[in-house]
A and B are shown apart, each in its own frame.
Chain A
Amino acid sequence: MKDAFGIPQSLLVLGGTSEIALATARRLITRRTRTVWLAGRPSPALDRSADELRALGADVRTVAFDALDPESHEPVLGKVFAEGDIDMVLLAFGILGDQARDEREPLNAVRVAQTNYTGAVSAALVSACALQSQGHGSLVVLSSVAGERARRANFIYGSSKAGLDAFTQGLGDALHGTGVHVMVVRPGFVRSRMTADREEAPFATTPEAVATAIEVGLRRRSETVWVPGALRVVMSALRHVPRAVFRRLPV
C-alpha cells in the first residue's frame, strides 16, 4: 500500500534499464519501497540494474518484457500482478531514434512509434486494468516536452510522445474515481545515456531531478508534472507561437 505521502511499497518499472526509472526507484527505496519489479528485455544491463537496487536493500525481481511484443504484455504483466499488489507502475521505456536516418528509413521511424506509442498503449492498459481491480495504485508515465509541440529536429520521437501523452491524459480521465492515479511526467532535456551525444537544450535536467519531481507528484497526487517546473510556463507560451515563427526559432 502507499503511505500518506503517496510513497509506494511495491514498484513495477516497465523499461527496467531507464536511468530516470532507476533514479526514481533509488529514491523511493530510501523511503518505503521494498519490492521492485524491473521489466525489460533480458540483458546484462537489466541484471546490473537489479543488483544495484538490491544493494540498497530492496527485494528486486526481473521479468522479461518486450515493448514491441504487445501480445505478450497481458500474460507477462498478469504474472507480476498475481504475485501481489503493485502500488506504482512506472512506464519508462522509450527510444529516441535517429531523426535524420529515420526520415530516410521509414521502418526505423515506425519502430520508434511502435515502442513509444503502441507498446505503451498496450502496457499501460494492461497495468491500468490490474490496478483498477486492486482498487488503488499509481500509473506514472514518462512523456516528454517534445510531445507538447512537434519540432523539426525530432518530430518522429516527439509525435510518438504526443500520442502517448494524449493517451495517458485520456486514461487518467477514464480512471478518475476508480482509486487509480494516473500521472504524466514531462521532463525537458534530460542528461543521460539517451542524450549523451546531443547538444544540450535549455532547461536541461537530470534523472535525479525527475525522480524528485515524481516523488512530489505522488505526494500531491498530481496529474501532470513538468521537470523542471518552469517548463510548464515556457511550453504554454511556445504552444501558441504561430508556426511560421516557431519554424524559425532555434529550439
Chain B
Amino acid sequence: MSAETVSVTGWGRTAPTTSVLIRPRTYEEAAAAVRGCGARGGIARGLGRAYGDAAQNAGGTVLDMTALDRVHAVDAAGGVVSCDAGVSLHRLMEVLLPLGWFVPVTPGTRYVTVGGAIGADIHGKNHHVSGSFSRHVLSLELLTADGEIHTVPRGTPLFDATTGGMGLTGVILTATLQLQPVQTSLMTVDTERARDLDDLMARMTATDDLYRYSVAWIDLLARGTATGRAVLTRGDHAPLEALPKGKRARRQPLAFRPARLPAVPAVLPEGLLSRRTVGWFNEFWYRRAPRARTGELQTLSAFFHPLDGVPHWNRIYGRGGFVQYQFTVGHGREDTLRTIVRRLSEHRCPSFLAVLKRFGDGDPGWLSFPQPGWTLALDIPASLPGLGALLDSLDEDVATAGGRVYLAKDSRLRPELLAAMYPRLDDFRALRARLDPRGLFVSDLARRLDL
C-alpha cells in the first residue's frame, strides 16, 4: 500500500488541495487505511471524474480505490455481476458485452468506477426509462468508520444514504449489479434539429417515451429567435437484424473497440475556448447535424462517450480549469428552464457542451440528484468574468422552482441553498452523526457545504 502527498483536484481542475494518497490493494489494507486516518479524516476516490471537490480531502487522506478492481462473478444467464468498487464501467463493458450484457446506466464517460457511480448515484441518457444507477444495485458492501465491513441491502436507510451520499457514509468495497441485455454493441440513432428551445422541449415531451436513450445538445451562444437551438439525438441498442449482412459488424455483433485519439497536451495557451472559438464550433456543430435522420448505426462509444476518445480533454480549458453547472427543475417548471437558458445565452457563456435531458422518476437516495423533470448540464471556463455571480443567481431560480444542483459536479454552490434543494439533508446529517461520530469520512465538498 503506497502513500504519497499529492495535490488533488476534480475533473474541472479548480481549487486544488493537498492530501496523503493511499492506494489499498486489499480490503484489509483499505480497513487499515480507514482506521489510520488522522484528524482530518479520509475519503474514497475513483477515477477523478467528479468535476468539483467531492473526492479530495485537504490535509487528510484520499483512498485511491482503483487497485481494488476485480470482477468477482458474472451470472451470464441472469445478467448479474458482482465486482469491486474500483472497477471502471469501461472494464465492465469489456467483460460484459461479449456475454450480451451492458451496464444499466452510463454517464457521459466510461471512466468512472462502480463505487463512484453509486456514491454520486449517476444517471445517463436513459434516466426517463431506467432511473439512476442505484436502481440497479442489488447490494453493496460498505467499510464504515469503525473499520468494519457491512453488507448493505436495498431498502435500508444506510443504502439510501450511501447511494448519492458522495462517499460520506463510508468506503464502498463491492457491489452487485443487475445488467441490461443487448444483442449487439451498436446503437440505432435518430438525429433531428430543433430551431429553438420551445421546439426542442415540445419534441422531447412528445416522443421521448419512444426511445430508451435521449439527449439534446444546445447551442447556448445562439441568440434572439434561435435561443436554445439544439440537436436532438435519441436511440436504442441495435437489434441483431439491424446490422448489415456480410459485414464484420454482423459477424462480431458484440465487439467493443473504442477508438482513442492522442491525449491533449499538458500545457495549452489560456483562452482557447473563447466566445469566438466556441461560437464557431457551435455553428459548425449545429449545421453539421442532419435536419432529420433515422436508424443510423453508431458505436457505443460514439453514442455514449464521445469525449472518452480524447484523453485529458479537460486540459483544453487551460490552467484556470472549468466548472460544470448541472441543475434539474420539475415538470411544470419549464419557465425557469427557459429563463435560465435565456440568461446563459445573454451572458454569452462559451459552452460547447450544454446538454438537456428529461428525468423520469427519482430514486430513494437521500442526496440523489435526479427528480422528475428537466436537467441541463453545461461546461464553462472558470475564468469567465462574472461567472460566479451569474451562477449564484441561477441557483436562486433553481431553488425557488424546487430544483437542485448536482453535487458530483458542484464546486461553488452557496451552502445556504443546500437544504432547500435536498429536503432529506437533515436525515443524512443525522445518520452520519450516528454512524461516524468523529467525522472520519470527510471531503472538501463536505466541508464547503457542511454536509
Which residues in A have some Cβ–Cβ distance to B below 8 Å? Answer: 1-7, 9, 31-32, 85, 133-136, 177-180, 219-221
Contacts and interface: CB of A to CB of B under 8 A. Distances in A.
B439 interface: no
B411 A3 contact: yes
A179 B17 contact: yes
B324 to A, nearest CB: 10
21 contacts: A1-B17, A1-B447, A3-B412, A4-B14, A4-B321, A4-B412, A5-B388, A9-B415, A9-B448, A134-B58, A134-B59, A135-B18, A135-B19, A135-B58, A136-B16, A136-B17, A136-B444, A177-B7, A179-B16, A179-B58, A220-B383
B323 interface: yes
Interface in B37-72: 40, 52-53, 57-60
Contacts of B215: none
The 7 lowest CB-CB distance pairs between A and B, nearest first, are: A179-B18, A135-B59, A135-B58, A4-B411, A1-B448, A4-B14, A136-B58
A220 B323 CA distance: 14
Nearest to B5: A178
Which bracket fits the contact residues of B? 20 to 34
A4 B17 contact: no
Interface string B413-425: 0110000000000
B242 interface: no
A135 B320 contact: no
B12 interface: yes
B387 interface: yes
Contacts of B414: 32
A178 B18 contact: yes
Given A85-B447, A136-B58, A177-B7, A5 B18 contact: no
B59 A136 contact: yes
Contacts of A31: 388-389
A133 to B, nearest CB: 6
Interface in B368-417: 382-383, 387-389, 411-412, 414-415
B18 A220 contact: no
B411 A219 contact: no
A7 B388 contact: yes
A177 B321 CA distance: 17
A247 B60 CA distance: 53
B59 A133 contact: yes
Contacts of A32: 414
Contacts of B382: 4-5, 219
A136 B320 contact: no
Interface in B161-212: none
Contacts of A85: 58, 447
A31 B414 CA distance: 9
B14 A135 contact: no
